[in-house]
């Protein structure tokens, strides 16, 4: 059972990718990834076999189902011809080269990047503060606030996007990048909240008391104790918020107009109006960048762990 | 530590100003006959509910989302289950595989399916090679196509909460069940599934909501003949410039989704009474 | 401290990667940008590949395209009325020009600032905006899949084509023109569209897909989802140039056509650039480029001779061009919203 003796801020002695359930909240929880449930020694009956077989097959189909389209897009983007066929008739990088001339696509990508960056920054600041506020607050207020902050995830985002547009118009404004960022923050901050709250739940509150009793002020405790402990959770949430903003369609559909074009809307327009193979090439770029960022997020923030809390 | 709640105030202020307020403004707009005329009236709602065209769109959207959720459940549960029992290293890889689709742009993923579902696409090639059909089957612009794509695009939302919940189930319980003589399947349905209800409900809620409101997938795969609520809202808001009516549709849509979520939640909490390892 | 540094490193790395990837490509001088509307399909390709570079050479400004149908442009301009329009140049079909002028969404075209304007045939020199082309519709079909050359729109009803016929939604001009023509063939006129819808109901079992616009239509052809459909002349030519098996047929009932024009929107952000953009489209050298495959855009400049493809299929002389049948759009316009709604109900599965 972990105790106060362990130094929570030591970078060593902590196995990579393993959260330390400090405070020992669940004594029965195995301290490995998510709790490995290798079945104890029991006779492998037909029963168990059939279960494993069926689930194995369904899982295999599901994995193919999940990853197949991504791989197909990547391969299709390497086609040498002008048509979008799989398997492609010949391979070439010409469409990736064509992206270098795609001025408007680059401009849209740049807009998306800027919006996603600022959305992430604001979401992390407000979201972390929000998580701290409600994680330790009185139950009723916390539950209500939690529900409110999470609701953009389950209420129709399209309805919110349109409502935001109507709202802006009533106030006399027009769609612009700052307002687009605010709209994105509303739908992206739940990701930061979720992972941060989950990370906070793992932290033994006694640590804060200890820190206070040793003379640290609130900010010092936050900087030296809280932040390092929840850092990976916040990092994972930031990553999710960034991707969610970069990829957002329902809010951008209403709050981004022709003069502030963002990439997903541009791509959707391209797909809907002129099946250009360059769309496949930019899709390939997006996929590769996503994979790279995911690997980074896994390396630095233990993404898979944070998502499985 | 109980005094930390003021930290949540900035976020709460943002939400009140930019999430709650717009919905009230939307509601107010839906109660107008015309953008100029400020008199309160239920005309837009009467228009919506009085026309079977609108009601059929509402129903098709809900039914579409339900079916897509069921497909996600069928394939998502096994993945989550396998994931929770896999050795550590394999687990990260599986989670990676599950999460990658949802992090890739939804437009990119939907676009991939256009290539796959076409008459000369991969799916038809495979079906013909396996001699399941002789002629290419129309998959694009059909509801089957839309459900398939929705299921793939939203499946990670089902897998992750399920995985989280399944990982927390005390392995002793399954062993106890086996020790008492229950077979693997009985243990699964009588012990594992009920215990995984929180994750199950969370997954279903997230997937249902996402599928109902999946504008890009519905329009790119469904085409102009399959109209669902998101496209209806968009057509009225942007195409016809009929903001009051679009507002009414949005309100009806939001309430419909909230009702289904409430039902799912209640269904979940009644079975949660059976025991929770948490 | 460890994870703090790690997290910071990760964020910096990600941001750096993002910025690094973008910087070389953005190192161009910060020039002006003109936001214009363009049609899906052949049009946006011609404008992107030919007109934008020509315009850039002339003014140094770059172009941001917004691909929208004429009806969508009107809706967007109407929504933004009184403030800044979402784009400075609108491209409209004949029917929409009347509405746009009436609703005060476009400015009168400043002919004095446009040197190429006077080179157009007089019929195309409109005070609200010059006509840049004529679009004509007929039947498009896949000669590999359909062996007998279709002769009229009623051939679409052939049961052998079940599930192979394509249509566009009614907010696209192709859809509207086809419906109007189908209406006329079956005995209706500009004020009575009932024959069209009765005939449409008979056609529906054969319809494989209804595309939202002409670009999506092109996709359907490329993916061989449709084999026969009402179609624009120059769109068929563009697809042919891309290697898609498709041929254009003039139906026995004759070609139907309408003019397409460019307009300066009211309160445009860059009105001078907008006029220069439109003027570039009128230039003789630009129009002869656009006339060539794969765009085959019918020219309106009197100094540009008709291409062989156009002469063979559409009209032998410019005089013949002006004789191509159209419709009284002013009579159809007021019914447009109702027609669109009725059409959407009919086609809904």
Cβ separation A130–B107 shorter than 8 A:
no
Cβ separation B241–C212 shorter than 8 A:
no
Per-residue pLDDT at B278: 42
Nearest CA-CA distance, residue B182 and chain A, Å: 10
Compute how many other C-beta atoms are within 10 angstroms of the C-beta atom of residue C119: 18
What is the rounded CA–CA span in Å between residue C141 and residue C211?
16
Cβ separation A66–B185 shorter than 8 A:
no
Nearest CA-CA distance, residue C164 and chain A, Å: 20
Interface of C with B in 228-267 (CB under 8 A): none
Residue A290's closest chain C neighbor by CA?
A: C14
Determine, yes or no, domain membership for A126: yes
Residue C83's closest chain A neighbor by CA?
A: A174
What is the rounded CA–CA span in Å between residue A240 and residue C37?
34
Query: Which of C72, C209, C345 is the closest to B141 by Cβ?
Result: C209
**Chain A contact present for C154, CB below 8 A:** no
Residue A168's closest chain B neighbor by CA?
A: B22
Interface of B with C in 30-69 (CB under 8 A): 53, 56
**Count of the separate structural domains present in chain C:** 2
Answer yes or no: do C105 and C128 share one domain: yes
Q: How confident is the model at residue C38 (pLDDT cuts 50, 70, 90)?
A: very high
Determine, yes or no, domain membership for C4: no
Q: Number of CB pairs < 8 Å for A and C?
A: 108
CB contact at 8 A, A233 and A132 = no
Answer yes or no: do A108 and A245 share one domain: yes
Q: What CATH number corresponds to the domain at position C152?
A: 3.40.190.10
Per-residue pLDDT at C13: 54
Cβ separation A259–C7 shorter than 8 A:
no
Query: Which of B113, B174, B261 is the closest to A69 by Cβ?
Result: B113
B109 interaction partners in chain A (CB closer than 8 Å): 69-70
Which chains sit next to C, with 3 or more Cβ pairs under 8 A?
A: A, B
Per-residue pLDDT at A1: 32
Q: Residue A73, Cα to own-chain centre: how many angstroms?
A: 22
Per-residue pLDDT at A15: 40
Helix (H) or strand (E) holding A288: helix A277-301
Cβ separation A164–B18 shorter than 8 A:
yes
Answer yes or no: do C66 and C205 share one domain: no
Determine, yes or no, domain membership for A204: yes
Q: Which residues pair with C260 in a beta bridge?
A: C93, C133
What is the rounded CA–CA span in Å between residue B208 and residue A253?
21
Nearest CA-CA distance, residue B83 and chain C, Å: 27
**Burial of residue C259 (number of CB atoms within 10 Å: 0-12, 13-18, 19+):** buried
Mean pLDDT of C177-182: 93
A273 interaction partners in chain C (CB closer than 8 Å): 40-41, 44, 67, 213-216
Per-residue pLDDT at A17: 40
What is the signed CA dihedral for C303, C307, C308, C313, rounded to 10 degrees?
A: -110
Q: What is the pTM of this model?
A: 0.85
Determine, yes or no, domain membership for C244: yes
Query: Which of B114, B224, B227 is the closest to C211 by Cβ?
Result: B224
Answer yes or no: do C175 and C290 share one domain: no
Per-residue pLDDT at C10: 56
Answer yes or no: do A79 and A108 share one domain: no
**Chain C contact present for A215, CB below 8 A:** no
Cβ separation B120–C212 shorter than 8 A:
no
Mean pLDDT, all residues of chain B: 87
What is the rounded CA–CA span in Å between residue A229 and residue A200?
8
Answer yes or no: do C97 and C240 share one domain: no
Answer yes or no: do C217 and C341 share one domain: yes
Answer yes or no: do A155 and A185 share one domain: yes
Per-residue pLDDT at A277: 80
Per-residue pLDDT at B40: 87
Answer yes or no: do A195 and A291 share one domain: yes
Structure tokens at B3: 């005094």
Answer yes or no: do A88 and A166 share one domain: no
Cβ separation B8–A145 shorter than 8 A:
yes
Per-residue pLDDT at A275: 67
Determine, yes or no, domain membership for A207: yes
**Chain B contact present for A207, CB below 8 A:** no
B74 interaction partners in chain A (CB closer than 8 Å): 58
**Count of the separate structural domains present in chain A:** 2
Determine, yes or no, domain membership for A36: no
Query: Which of A86, A141, A286 is the closest to B121 by Cβ?
Result: A86
Determine, yes or no, domain membership for C48: yes
> What domain range is C102 assigned to?
33-134+258-306
Interface of A with C in 82-101 (CB under 8 A): 82-84, 100
Determine, yes or no, domain membership for A37: no
Query: Which of C7, C44, C242 is the closest to A300 by Cβ?
Result: C7
DSSP assignments along C124-178, one per residue: G--TT--EEEEEEEEEEE-TTT--SPP-SGGGGG-GGGTTTEEEE-TTSHHHHHH
Determine, yes or no, domain membership for C118: yes
The model's pLDDT over C236-284, given as tens digits with 9 standing for 90+, comes to 988 888 888 899 999 999 899 999 999 999 999 999 999 999 999 999 9
Interface of C with B in 160-189 (CB under 8 A): 163, 169, 171
pLDDT at C343 over 70: yes
Q: How confident is the model at residue C19 (pLDDT cuts 50, 70, 90)?
A: low
Which stretch of A39-53, C149-163, C329-343 has the lowest confidence by average pLDDT? A39-53
Q: Number of CB pairs < 8 Å for A and B?
A: 316
> What domain range is A152 assigned to?
102-307
Cβ separation C17–A292 shorter than 8 A:
yes
DSSP state of A14: S
The model's pLDDT over C180-218, given as tens digits with 9 standing for 90+, comes to 999 999 998 888 999 999 999 999 989 988 887 777 788
What is the rounded CA–CA span in Å between residue A253 and residue B218?
15
Q: Which residues pair with C63 in a beta bridge?
A: C34
Determine, yes or no, domain membership for A32: no
The answer for B181, left when phi > 0, alpha when psi is -120 to 50, beta otherwise, is left
Q: Is A61 helix (H, G, I), strand (E, B) or coil?
A: helix
Per-residue pLDDT at B271: 62
Answer yes or no: do C212 and C266 share one domain: no
What is the rounded CA–CA span in Å between residue C47 and residue C87?
15
Answer yes or no: do C212 and C287 share one domain: no
What is the rounded CA–CA span in Å between residue B242 and residue C337?
11
What is the rounded CA–CA span in Å between residue C182 and residue C34?
39
Per-residue pLDDT at A52: 85
C108: phi then psi, degrees, rounded to nearest 5: -65, 145
Cβ separation B118–C224 shorter than 8 A:
yes
pLDDT at B168 over 70: yes
Q: Which distant-in-sequence residues (6+ apart) come within 8 Å of A185 by Cβ?
A: A119, A122, A123, A126, B14
Residue B13's closest chain A neighbor by CA?
A: A126
Answer yes or no: do A118 and A170 share one domain: yes
Query: Which of A11, A299, A301 is the closest to C1 by Cβ?
Result: A11
Answer yes or no: do A87 and A110 share one domain: no
Percent of chain A as helix, strand, coil, to the nearest 5: 70, 0, 30
**Chain B contact present for C209, CB below 8 A:** yes
**Chain A contact present for C15, CB below 8 A:** yes
Answer yes or no: do C241 and C287 share one domain: no
Structure tokens at A16: 């990579």
CB contact at 8 A, A176 and A260 = yes
Residue C211's closest chain A neighbor by CA?
A: A272
**Burial of residue C175 (number of CB atoms within 10 Å: 0-12, 13-18, 19+):** buried
Structure tokens at A51: 């279960």
Nearest CA-CA distance, residue C147 and chain B, Å: 18
Q: Residue C15, Cα to own-chain centre: how many angstroms?
A: 40
Among A61, A92, A123, the domain boundary falls at: A92
The model's pLDDT over B181-211, given as tens digits with 9 standing for 90+, comes to 888 888 888 888 888 888 899 999 999 999 9
Determine, yes or no, domain membership for A6: no
Answer yes or no: do A206 and A169 share one domain: yes
Determine, yes or no, domain membership for A273: yes
Cβ separation A40–B175 shorter than 8 A:
yes
The residues of chain A scoring below 50 in pLDDT are: 1-36, 41
Answer yes or no: do C274 and C127 share one domain: yes
Answer yes or no: do C108 and C174 share one domain: no
DSSP assignments along C73-130, one per residue: HHHHHHHTTTS--S-SEEEEEHHHHHHHHHTT-EEPP-GGG-GGGGGB-GGG--TT--
What is the rounded CA–CA span in Å between residue C83 and residue C299?
34
What is the rounded CA–CA span in Å between residue A274 and residue A253?
19
Q: What CATH number corresponds to the domain at position A153?
A: 1.10.3720.10
Cβ separation A231–C65 shorter than 8 A:
no
Determine, yes or no, domain membership for C78: yes
Residue of C203, C223, C226, C343 best to disrupt the B interface, most CBs of B under 10 A:
C223
Answer yes or no: do A83 and A116 share one domain: no
Answer yes or no: do A136 and A69 share one domain: no
Cβ separation B225–C210 shorter than 8 A:
yes
Residue C343's closest chain B neighbor by CA?
A: B225
Nearest CA-CA distance, residue B229 and chain C, Å: 13
A293 interaction partners in chain C (CB closer than 8 Å): 14
Among A71, A92, A113, the domain boundary falls at: A92
Determine, yes or no, domain membership for C312: no
Q: Which residues pair with C228 in a beta bridge?
A: C141, C165
Per-residue pLDDT at C115: 92
Mean pLDDT of B224-251: 91
Answer yes or no: do C263 and C247 share one domain: no
Answer yes or no: do C190 and C285 share one domain: no
Q: Nearest-5° angle of CA C305, CA C311, CA C315? A: 100
Answer yes or no: do A162 and A283 share one domain: yes
C72 interaction partners in chain B (CB closer than 8 Å): 238-239
What domains sit in chain B, N to C, each tagged with a CATH number? 50-272 (1.10.3720.10)
The model's pLDDT over B55-110, given as tens digits with 9 standing for 90+, comes to 999 999 999 999 999 999 999 999 998 888 888 888 888 888 888 888 888 888 88
Instruction: Please state, in angstroms and as integers, the Cα–Cα distance from residue C19 to each residue in A109, A111, A138, A248, C68, following that order.
Output: 11, 12, 43, 20, 31
Answer yes or no: do A80 and A198 share one domain: no
**Chain C contact present for B120, CB below 8 A:** yes
């Amino acid at each position: 059972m972990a105790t106060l003796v362990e130094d929570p801020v030591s970078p060593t002695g902590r196995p990579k990718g393993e959260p330390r359930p400090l405070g020992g909240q669940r004594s029965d929880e195995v301290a490995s990834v998510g709790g490995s449930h290798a079945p104890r020694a029991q006779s492998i009956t037909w029963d168990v076999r059939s279960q494993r077989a069926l689930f194995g097959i369904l899982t295999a189909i599901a994995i193919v189902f999940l990853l197949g389209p991504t791989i197909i897009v990547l391969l299709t983007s390497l086609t040498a011809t002008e048509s979008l066929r799989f398997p492609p008739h010949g391979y070439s990088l010409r469409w990736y080269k064509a992206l270098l001339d795609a001025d408007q696509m680059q401009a849209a990508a740049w807009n998306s990047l800027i919006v996603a960056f600022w959305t992430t920054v604001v979401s992390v600041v407000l979201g972390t503060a929000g998580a701290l506020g409600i994680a330790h607050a009185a139950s009723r207020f916390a539950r209500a606030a939690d529900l409110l902050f999470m609701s953009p995830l389950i209420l129709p985002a399209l309805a919110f996007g349109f409502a935001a547009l109507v709202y802006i118009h009533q106030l006399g404004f027009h769609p612009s990048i700052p307002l687009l960022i605010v709209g994105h923050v509303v739908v992206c901050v739940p990701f930061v909240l979720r992972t941060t709250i989950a990370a906070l739940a793992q932290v033994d509150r006694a640590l804060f008391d200890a820190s206070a009793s040793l003379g640290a002020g609130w900010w010092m405790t936050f900087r030296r104790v809280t932040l390092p402990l929840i850092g990976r959770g916040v990092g994972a949430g930031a990553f999710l918020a960034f991707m969610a903003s970069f990829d957002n369609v329902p809010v951008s559909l209403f709050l981004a107009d022709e003069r502030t074009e963002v990439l997903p809307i541009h791509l959707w327009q391209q797909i809907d109006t002129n099946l250009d193979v360059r769309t496949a090439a930019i899709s390939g770029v997006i996929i590769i960048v996503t994979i790279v960022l995911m690997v980074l997020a896994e390396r630095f923030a233990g993404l898979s762990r944070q998502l499985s809390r | 530590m109980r005094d930390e709640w003021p930290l949540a105030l900035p976020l709460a202020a943002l939400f009140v100003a930019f999430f709650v307020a717009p919905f009230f403004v939307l509601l107010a707009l839906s109660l107008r006959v015309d953008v100029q005329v400020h008199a309160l009236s239920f005309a837009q709602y009467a228009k919506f509910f009085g026309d079977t065209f609108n009601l059929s769109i509402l129903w098709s959207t809900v039914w579409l989302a339900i079916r897509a959720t069921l497909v996600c459940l069928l394939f998502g549960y096994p993945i989550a289950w396998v994931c929770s029992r896999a050795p550590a290293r394999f687990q990260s890889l599986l989670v990676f595989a599950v999460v990658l689709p949802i992090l890739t742009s939804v437009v990119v993923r939907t676009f991939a399916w256009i290539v796959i579902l076409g008459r000369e696409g991969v799916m038809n090639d495979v079906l013909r090679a396996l001699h399941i059909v002789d002629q290419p089957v129309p998959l694009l612009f059909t509801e089957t196509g839309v459900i398939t794509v929705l299921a793939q695009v939203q499946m990670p939302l089902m897998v992750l909460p399920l995985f989280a919940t399944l990982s927390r189930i005390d392995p002793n319980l399954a062993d106890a069940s086996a020790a008492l003589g229950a077979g693997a399947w009985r243990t699964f349905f009588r012990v594992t599934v009920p215990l995984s209800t929180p994750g199950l409900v969370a997954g279903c809620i997230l997937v249902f909501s996402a599928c109902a409101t999946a504008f890009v997938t519905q329009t790119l795969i469904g085409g102009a003949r399959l109209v669902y609520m998101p496209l209806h809202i968009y057509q009225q808001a942007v195409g016809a410039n009929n903001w009051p009516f679009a507002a009414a549709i949005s309100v009806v849509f939001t309430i419909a989704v909230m009702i289904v979520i409430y039902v799912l939640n209640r269904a979940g909490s009644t079975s949660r009474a059976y025991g929770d390892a948490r | 401290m460890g994870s703090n540094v790690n997290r910071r490193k990760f964020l910096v790395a990600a941001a750096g990667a993002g910025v690094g990837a973008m910087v070389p490509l953005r190192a161009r001088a910060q020039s002006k940008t003109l936001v214009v509307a363009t049609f899906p399909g052949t049009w946006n390709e011609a404008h992107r590949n030919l007109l934008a570079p020509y315009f850039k050479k002339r003014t140094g400004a770059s172009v941001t395209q917004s691909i929208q149908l004429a009806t969508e442009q009107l809706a967007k301009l109407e929504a933004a009325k009184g403030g800044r329009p979402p784009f400075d140049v609108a491209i409209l079909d004949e029917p929409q020009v009347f509405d746009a002028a009436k609703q005060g969404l476009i400015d009168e075209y400043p002919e004095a600032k446009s040197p190429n304007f006077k080179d157009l045939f007089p019929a195309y020199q409109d005070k609200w905006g010059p006509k840049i082309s004529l679009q004509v519709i007929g039947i498009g079909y896949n000669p590999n899949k359909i062996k007998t050359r279709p002769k009229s729109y009623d051939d679409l009803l052939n049961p052998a084509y079940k599930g192979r016929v394509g249509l566009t939604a009614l907010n696209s001009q192709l859809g509207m023109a086809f419906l109007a023509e189908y209406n006329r063939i079956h005995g209706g006129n500009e004020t009575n569209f009932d024959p069209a819808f009765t005939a449409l109901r008979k056609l529906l079992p054969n319809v494989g897909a209804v595309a939202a616009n002409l670009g999506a239509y092109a996709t359907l052809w490329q993916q061989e989802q449709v084999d026969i459909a009402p179609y624009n002349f120059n769109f068929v030519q563009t697809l042919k140039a891309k290697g898609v098996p498709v041929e254009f047929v003039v139906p026995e009932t004759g070609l139907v056509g309408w003019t397409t024009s460019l307009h300066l929107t009211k309160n445009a952000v860059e009105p001078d650039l907008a006029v220069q953009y439109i003027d570039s489209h009128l230039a003789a050298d630009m129009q002869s480029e656009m006339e060539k495959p794969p765009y085959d855009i019918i020219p309106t400049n009197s100094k540009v001779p008709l291409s062989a493809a156009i002469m063979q299929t559409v009209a032998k002389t410019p005089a013949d061009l002006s004789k191509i049948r159209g419709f009284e759009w002013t009579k159809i316009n007021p019914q447009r919203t109702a027609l669109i709604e009725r059409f959407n109900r009919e086609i809904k599965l």
